[in-house]
Amino acid sequence: QVQLVESGGGLVQAGGSLRLSCAASAASGSIFSINVMGWYRQAPGKQRALVATITSGSTTNYADSGKGRFTISRDNSKNTVYLQMNSLKPEDTAVYYCNADLRRDARSYVYRYWGKGTQVTVSS
């Protein structure tokens, strides 16, 4: 079984920064490969929306809402993806979810796994 666990959320004032982390792990002890990892967010009453993604080769993609303020990165040796968020705005308030497209072992297909989310609240 694969788990993605997010951390780093919290309450911050507008203009502040937060760094989110998300680590992927498997009950078997190892993950064969991870392709794309990403961050999404869901504000109250809205659909889940893309924030940023990063490939295993570190090619990144950002939603317009975070360009210039958010930076996604990953540590492949730790199966971990990060999201550095600067100049936060009240409209960034949401539950942030990470995901990973991965293969648990050499015989498995690529599946997308999701974390349970971490709350980010930006006060004005």
pLDDT at residue 77, as a whole number: 94
- Pair of tokens at residue 113: 């796994």
Q: What is the percent of the chain with per-residue pLDDT over 90, rounded to a whole number?
A: 94
Residue 107 CB burial class (10 angstroms; 0-12, 13-18, ≥19) = exposed
Query: Is residue 30 pLDDT above 90, yes or no?
Result: no
Question: What is the number of alpha carbons within 13 Å of residue 95 lying toward its C-beta?
Answer: 12
Query: Strand runs (DSSP E) across 8-124, as ranges?
Result: 10-13, 18-26, 33-42, 49-54, 60-62, 70-75, 80-85, 94-103, 111-114, 118-123
Mean pLDDT for 7-34 is: 95
Confidence class of residue 29 from pLDDT cuts 50, 70 and 90? confident
Q: Please state, in angstroms and rounded to a whole number, the distance separating the CA atoms of residues 120 and 44.
A: 12
Query: Is residue 92 pLDDT above 80, yes or no?
Result: yes
Residues 35, 41: contact at Cβ < 8 Å?
no
